[in-house]
Amino acid sequence: MNLQSDIRPVPTRENGYLNGHAQLLVDSFRRWTGRTLIDCAPAELGRELFYAPFVIASHDTQSAPVFNYANLAALQLWETNWEMFTSKRSSDSAEADAQVEREQFMARVAAQGCVSGYSGVRISMQGRRFRIDNATVWNVLDAAGGYHGQAVWFDAWQYIE
């Protein structure tokens, strides 16, 4: 069930691996944290971000946000494909008993703009639980300050058996 009327294109060589969205994520991350996610030529940013060894994902601005981006590491961690991932509410990534805590955390990110050091348990599309550690979650803003949703970056995770 896709909760958004527009089709979210799969990142491919032909569309520059969604280079425009990748640039938005990277620039917004740098604005909030002062850190660089990827150091490469601008034309290669989409491909480099999609194949990066860390997880990065984002959701849109709907009242019940839907994922609108995931790099390959995120798709593999969530055990899914692009079409399935980008048709799910981002809240579905947390277990039912963690929804209140997740909502409170996301409200904190919305108010502060960026929060680093987050750790928590998430659930893959196959029902497998995993723990993420030291994640950074931020509001995705364009150069003019327009709000485009929120994103997450992390490079440490472990499946819970």
Task: List, for residues 9-35, the tens digit of each pLDDT value.
Answer: 899 999 999 999 999 999 999 999 999
pLDDT band at 5 (very low <50, low <70, confident <90, very high): very low
The DSSP code for 93 is G
Report CA 142 to chain centroid distance, whole Å.
16
Residue 153 has a pLDDT of 98
Residue 161 has a pLDDT of 82
Q: Is residue 6 scored above 70 in pLDDT?
A: no
Task: List, for residues 92-128, the tens digit of each pLDDT value.
Answer: 999 999 999 999 999 999 999 999 999 999 999 999 9
What integer best gives the mean pLDDT of the chain?
A: 93
Burial grade of 23 (CB within 10 A; 0-12, 13-18, 19 or more)? middle
Task: List, for residues 80-91, the tens digit of each pLDDT value.
Answer: 999 999 999 999
The DSSP code for 8 is -
Whole-structure pTM value: 0.92
Task: List, for residues 138-151, the tens digit of each pLDDT value.
Answer: 999 999 999 999 99
